[in-house]
Amino acid sequence: MYIKRIIHEFNAENDENFQYRNLNTPCEIQFPPRSTKQQISFSYEKKEICFNLIRYYSPNELQEFKLMESSLIIKDYLNKLSVEFLFKITRHPLEKDLSIGVIPDIVDDYGKTCYGAVKKADNQYFFMIYTKKGSTSFEDDTIYVYGIWEVELSVEFKVKLFGSTNKPV
């Protein structure tokens, strides 16, 4: 994965009563308690691109994952991502043999879990790195958006995230 373009400005929405416009990364956003809708969106080439973080989305459009060693992200790939997207690598606090991605200079209230989300929009891919404040789903109302980028994905990573890249004839 490599950066094609940085997305500097974005919007955060919960419903018509909660909207922040023209936010810049990095940015902390406090959604209303127990929100049923948490969206990060931006305009790109006359299209509205939306990351819906409450999981009301098609897995063919958005994949969310922890930035840590796993079957999705091997250690070498995690290291490459950390260089490209300027986040730190540290040891998992409970499983010392695992590496995890950490947003630099983030306050401890956010814990150690850093998330990545890849949004597919037509033939374009967008990547967002963020973290959530708190340790339970009831405390996930505050997020910290570290960055949003248009990215180019390797064929292997596309297949891992979205399945086959072959379209039926």
Identify whether 166 is part of a domain. no
Identify whether 169 is part of a domain. no
Angle at 57 between CA 21 and CA 30, to 5 degrees: 35
Task: Answer whether 18's CB lies under 8 Å from 90's CB.
Answer: no
Tell me the β-bridge partners of 148.
7, 128
Structural domains of the chain, count? 1
Identify whether 99 is part of a domain. yes
What is the pTM for the complete model shown? 0.88
Identify whether 37 is part of a domain. yes
Identify whether 167 is part of a domain. no
Print the domain residue range for 38: 2-160
| Residue the block writes with tokens 């630099």 | 104
Other residues' Cβ atoms within 10 Å of the Cβ of residue 132: 20
**Amino acid found at 117:** A
Identify whether 57 is part of a domain. yes
Identify whether 165 is part of a domain. no
pLDDT tens digits in sequence order for the chain, 169 residues long: 999 999 999 999 887 677 888 899 999 998 887 777 788 999 998 899 999 887 666 667 889 899 999 989 999 999 999 999 999 998 887 887 889 998 988 877 676 788 999 999 988 999 999 998 865 555 567 889 999 999 999 999 999 988 865 544 3
CA dist 81 → 67, 106, 142, 151 (Å): 9, 18, 25, 12
